[in-house]
A = this chain, B = another copy of it.
Amino acid sequence: MSSPGSRTTVIALLADRGYRLTAPRRQILDVLLASGTPLSAAGIHRRLENRRINLASVYRTIWVLLGLEALRATDAIGGEKRFELADPLGAHHHHLICQDCGRIEDLEGCPLEERVLRAVNRRVRRSRRFRIVEHELRLIGACADCDGAGRRTRARRRP
């Protein structure tokens, strides 16, 4: 297997583009592979084995991986930026985001069927002149832990 999100593929991609495989990059990649949810730069940094790796290097690696299209940026709640390894090929998925705790879960696959997408495309194309390339769907609500009692665990951040 060698989807864009696989360890070997990303490593090959780095070499291919003249990037070097350094310890920080390997560790950051491993953190991303191990995480089941998108992580912020600080989140990645916090999970690194070697705590001597600088936060600046995390940012630089994020930037490199985005350039390789091996990483995908997803806006969490409140504009917080998080990152996750890209899906294989032209695949994509969307997220369930908890309003209260900020937790992000994957929604496997895309619920927008061909039919819907085509309809939107037609509608848009007719009125405005706009070519849709991709889309992003965020389902916002309450996760299992936060539902039930309205015990808002994390105060909603300022805008």
Decide: A159 and B116 in contact? CB cutoff 8 A: no
Query: 0/1 per residue, A100-142, Cβ < 8 Å to B?
Result: 0000010100011100100110011000111111111111111
Number of copies: 2
Near B by CB (< 8 A), chain A positions 85-104 give: 96, 98-99
Alpha-carbon distance between A112 and B135 when the two chains are bound, in angstroms:
13
Q: Does A34 contact B (CB under 8 A)?
A: no
Q: Establish whether residues A139 and B132, one from each chain, have CB atoms under 8 Å apart when the complex forms.
A: yes
Q: Known contacts A135-B140, A138-B135: does B129 contact A147 (CB below 8 Å)? A: yes
Indicate the size class of the contact surface on chain A.
35 or more
Task: Return chain B residues, CB-CB under 8 Å to A159.
Answer: 62-63, 66, 73, 81, 83
- Among B98, B111, B132, B147, the residue within 8 A (CB) of A116 is B111
Across the A-B interface, the 5 shortest Cβ-Cβ residue pairs: A129-B144, A133-B141, A132-B141, A136-B138, A111-B120
